[in-house]
Copies of this chain bind each other. A is one copy, B any other.
Amino acid sequence: MKSGSVFCEVEECSGLAENVFSIWLKADREILAAAQPGRFLHILCPEGSLLRRPISICQTQGDMLRLVFEVKGEGTRWLSRRRRGDSLDILGPLGSGFDLSGGPLLLAGGGIGAAPLLFCAQMKRCDAVLGFASGQKAVLLSEFASACDGAEFSSDDGSLGRRAYVTELLEERLRSGGYKGVLACGPEPMLRIAAGLCRDYSVPLQVSLEQRMGCGVGACLVCSCRIVKDNREGYARVCRDGPVFRASEVVWDD
């Protein structure tokens, strides 16, 4: 039996970049055992809000677990104001994560989408291409640089690394060949382009999708995304069937 929601103590909460924060949580054995790249915690961010917020696990270290997130609204703003010693009411880890079997693997991250990919790099040596809007928005650069063999960075405005979209870096890597799989996380337009590229180069792509959630455990069916499986198109649950899906199965919105 899983436990219900549990309280985890905040070890550290700090700003990483413009509007991006990092929280280290003390976690119990059960949570650490269930933590896997691509899985997420469903976090209560009160102040009158009813729904939990899903945040991917960014990495683990000893008995600690890290979240890296961008402030988007009330919930993440509340989260960014936690301090050492505060406790967070969390449910999870939830969802099904990245499949890290086979290799070599390439990680492709856009913006805050880099967070869950770091956990992949921690579990298995991979290459990585990461794109950010600007240098001010970039996070986890040193972590990726040390965890990955060939980590390459770009920014939309050229203030960090090359001036390029991350999908351009991805295409170059695909062109040079050799990857047995790509794992991507980032804004939907990026994932859609990545899906096209990986299809063209016949490299299996896994993507981590986002959708607004209710229960987070698979019971309420609000977090749907469109999937084709066994030739049938239908809705899958981001919270349980995902958040990581094979890109070849995802029906992209237009």
Contact = CB atoms under 8 A, between A and B. Distances in A.
How many copies the complex holds: the figure is 2
A4 interface: no
A47 B46 CA distance: 8
Nearest to A47: B46
A48 interface: yes
Interface majority SS on A: helix, strand, loop or mixed? loop
Chain A interface size band reads under 10
A86 to B, nearest CB: 13
A48 B48 CA distance: 5
A46 B49 CA distance: 12
Interface in A8-46: 46
Contacts of A46: 47-48
A120 to B, nearest CB: 38
A46 B46 CA distance: 11
Interface in A43-68: 46-48
A48 B46 CA distance: 9
Contacts of A48: 46, 48
A123 B246 CA distance: 76
Contacts of A47: 46
A48 B50 CA distance: 10
A99 B46 CA distance: 44
Nearest to A49: B48
A84 to B, nearest CB: 15
A51 to B, nearest CB: 14
A81 to B, nearest CB: 13
A25 to B, nearest CB: 23
A46 B47 CA distance: 8
A48 B47 CA distance: 7
Interface of A: 46-48
Nearest 3 CB-CB pairs, A to B?
A: A48-B48, A46-B47, A46-B48
3 contacts: A46-B47, A46-B48, A48-B48
